[in-house]
Structure 1
Amino acid sequence: MDRHVIQKKYEFLRIIDRLEDENILVVIANIREVSEDWKTGKIEVLSRHSHSEEYHLHNIPIHIQRLTAIEPTQISPMEFLKLTKLYKK
């Protein structure tokens, strides 16, 4: 029996970019649902939610200064839903 095995995973990614020439700090949070077909190796992003904020370099809030960039990190389905709700506000 030839079964197609498709695995879903949930990821969180945070990008922090300092744009000196524009005097801003950009923070992007990306939550995504990823599907991987083990048979074909095909990876597909099924849903994605991104949230971005910009801050003037001379006025970055302390809680933002403490943030670090995060490579795509697997999270649980419950964390995925919680983060999606948080960033939709």
Structure 2
Amino acid sequence: MSRQVEYEFLRIIDRIEEENLLLIIANIREVRKNPITGSLNVLSRHSHSEEYPLENIPRHIQILDAVEPTRISPQEFDQLIKLYKNDINSFLLYTP
């Protein structure tokens, strides 16, 4: 049985393609961890960050719908902690 974790905001890396980072702000509605694979399923409301405006996103990077499930691996959380460890005012970190 999965455990639900609730928290408000998280800045995540959704796509990394050819070193183009797409950063989004996600209002987290629900987080469930798969006990078998260890992956997280996040139901969230997304908006693009000011650091990477919508008009600057390369065409080959997929743009998220307003509300959709997002898979986040433990490795991606590790990346976030390393990249944004000093930027705690803009988001709350959750480490599975």
Q: Give the TM-score range, shorter chain.
A: 0.3 to 0.5
Higher strand residue share? 1
Question: Max radius of gyration: which structure?
Answer: 1
Output the TM-score relative to the length of structure 2: 0.31
Output the TM-score relative to the length of structure 1: 0.33
